Structure 1
Amino acid sequence: MAKLMLLMVLCILPAIAMAARRPHIGRNTMVVKGRTYCDICKFGFETVESSYYIPGATVRLVCKDRKTMDENYRAETVSDEEGNYKFIVHEDHKDAVCDVLLVKSSDASCPKISPGREQSRVILNHYNGIASQVRYANNMGFEKEVSDVFCSELIKKYQVDEDDV
């Protein structure tokens, strides 16, 4: 009997310790996730050859009332070493329009916010048919001031119109 109790304690104790370590996500809590990147060739989209993720980029989450457009929520965070960022929002924004916005790049060689890739809209309410508490924002990008030398080859590969670059 003592061995059975010892076995149960050894099995249950690690599970309790792991559960205590996890951050509490309540019923109304939502997590917004996304990624920041640098577009080396100014394509306006990510490729394996022409973009890399930016750690330390500053990102802002702003929610505004749908009718008055008054700001009712604001938070900022910084992307991790792989360019990922995360916001934990503890309230439901039922009648709000919420956007994730790029604020500042931490990469001096890639400082410019890429037009059209500077923000992403997210839905932060539970009355929309989304079962998960995680909301994914589109990846948002910065770009270099001057394209790298190898970009001309990539333009041909991806059939990008040179006037758009």
Structure 2
Amino acid sequence: MATKSSGFVLASALCFLSLLGFAYCADNLSVDGLVYCDSCRIQFMTRISEPLQGAKVKLECRDREGGTITLSSETETDEQGRYQIPVEGDHEEEVCQVVLVKSPRDDCSEISTDSHAKLSARISLTNNNGIAGPHRIPNPLGFLKTEPDAQCAEVLKELGLTPEGDLA
């Protein structure tokens, strides 16, 4: 009889502890991204794109209605061009995006002003979106090189593109 009681107490304790984990499962997320030097000025990564160490990026969330900034956090990339921005709370009702701030390289510091580039690093920062896990990974962000690399014509040809980035 004591064995059954001990087993019940142990099972109950395990169930309680597993539920306790859910109670402390706060809305803590992490935005994990990559910044690179766009060697061919085509606004996507190629085999000659280089990760940028020391690039500064900023995560901003804005209220959908008024556009008021509700969250702003800046960080710097590591030696692999990667960054990680911890996020507290749920930002389901906000528009959040990562933007480029500053490049560590003078020859690769231009920020594209194309409208599609501004939308490329939007990110959903909520647990109510079907994404499992705490990590949110936006599209890679690239600073444009001042002059395209000499290898770009070959790289673009391999991709079936013209030197202007159009389909061949």
Give the shorter-chain TM-score range: 0.7 to 0.9
Total equivalences in the alignment: 140
Paired residue secondary structure (2:154): helix
Which residues in structure 2 correspond to 1:1-165 (within 5 Å)?
27-48=26-47, 50-114=48-112, 115=114, 116-117=116-117, 119-164=120-165
The CA deviation at 1:26 is: 5.3
Give, in whole Å, the separation in 1 of the partners of 2:151 and 2:93. Answer: 47
What runs of 5+ residues in structure 1 fail to find an aligned partner? 1-24
- Aligned partners of 2:126 and 2:90: how far apart in 1? 5
Q: Which has the higher strand share?
A: 1
**Contact 1:117/1:141 (<8 A) preserved:** no
Deviations 1:45-90 (A, max 9, x none): 1112x21100100000000111111111101000001000010011
Alpha-carbon distance in structure 2 between the residues aligned to 1:26 and 1:145: 46
Listed as ranges, the gaps of 5+ residues in structure 2 are: 1-23
- Contact between 1:111 and 1:145, CA under 8 Å: does it hold in 2? yes
**Superposition RMSD on alpha carbons, in Å?**
1.9
Q: Per-residue deviation at 1:140?
A: 0.5
TM-score when normalising by structure 2: 0.76
Q: Distance in 1 between matches of 2:150 and 2:130?
A: 46
Of 143-152 and 28-37, deviating more is: 143-152
User: Given that residues 31 and 133 in structure 1 are in contact (C-alpha distance below 8 angstroms), is that contact kept between their aligned partners in structure 2?
Assistant: yes
Distance in 1 between residues matched to 2:124 and 2:46, nearest whole Å: 27
- In 1, are the aligned partners of 2:92 and 2:125 still within 8 Å (CA)? yes
- TM value normalised by structure 1: 0.77
Cα offsets for 1:94-116 (capped at 9, x unmatched): 31110110111112221112444
